[in-house]
Amino acid sequence: MRTRAPAAAVLLAALGLGATGCGAGGDPATVLDVHAAASLTGTFTELAEQFEAQHPGVEVSLSFAGSSTLVQQLTEGAPADVLATADERSMAGAVAAGLVDGEPEVFATNVLTVVVPAGNPAGVASFRELAEPGVQVVVCAPQVPCGAAGERVQEFSGVRLSPVSEEGSVTDVLGKVVSGQADAGLVYATDARSAGDAVEVVEVPQAAQAVTRSPVAALADSEEPELARQFTELVAGDRGREVLAGAGFGAP
């Protein structure tokens, strides 16, 4: 399995990803290119391993980034077989561009939460406190699903943030909090969970009003359409939902 990871390497170092580029007996592997939102890194890595085990001679090549970045890359001609985005808006852009084969299927949901570094040095106790002077907050850029969800949370809560930076993926936000470059960050609950003891969580009550729904689809220009279909079925099926639920994702 090959993985082209997002910038926040802190979340990926423990995964021990490797690549052989060959199938059984040293023959070249059939490669299935899967582009997925950065928030899906852990779950899609696990599902890709299961898919390879079920399909000897198939290598899943994973590319993770912000959903809007992935769609832009595909629009510009990047080859891929499967696309999974963190929200339906990004997938709608891929559909409008004629990139998708068939109807995308929503396979999971997610909500935002606030994370602070272990020990909570800034003493952040609520979402409203993120707007106080001197609190260094990092969020996703508005064009990224987690950024769009963050905008909705701010609208629902009546709290307007002044972030010190807007990142291109949720894992970049998390990375800045874990490394102590920010007092707090707005990330998905699943990313907060994956960080373990490196962060503490501050719940956001309004997050339930800004749920994101993640769809997956096979791509129209796939060179492996049957394998692409089978991978989407794995993601949206019982096994996929089991893996996703284990990581904290909600049911579609």
- Residue 59 β-bridge partners: 31
**End-to-end Cα spacing for the chain:** 27
Pairing mode of beta strands 82-84, 212-219 = antiparallel
SS3 129: helix
DSSP 20-86: --B-GGGPBPEEEEEEEEGGGHHHHHHHHHHHHHHSTTEEEEEEEE-HHHHHHHHHTT---SEEE-S
Enumerate the known binding-site residues. Answer: 39, 67, 170, 188
Burial of 4 (0-12, 13-18, 19+ CB in 10 A): exposed
- Residue 200 β-bridge partners: 116
**Six token digits for residue 88:** 């339906």
The residues, any chain, with a CB within 8 Å of residue 115's CB and separated by 6 or more, are 174, 177, 184, 185, 187, 191, 192, 195, 199, 200, 201, 202
DSSP 132-193: STT--EEEE-TTSHHHHHHHHHHHHHT-----SEEESSHHHHHHHHHTTS-SEEEEEHHHHH
Enumerate the known binding-site residues for molybdate. Answer: 39, 67, 170, 188
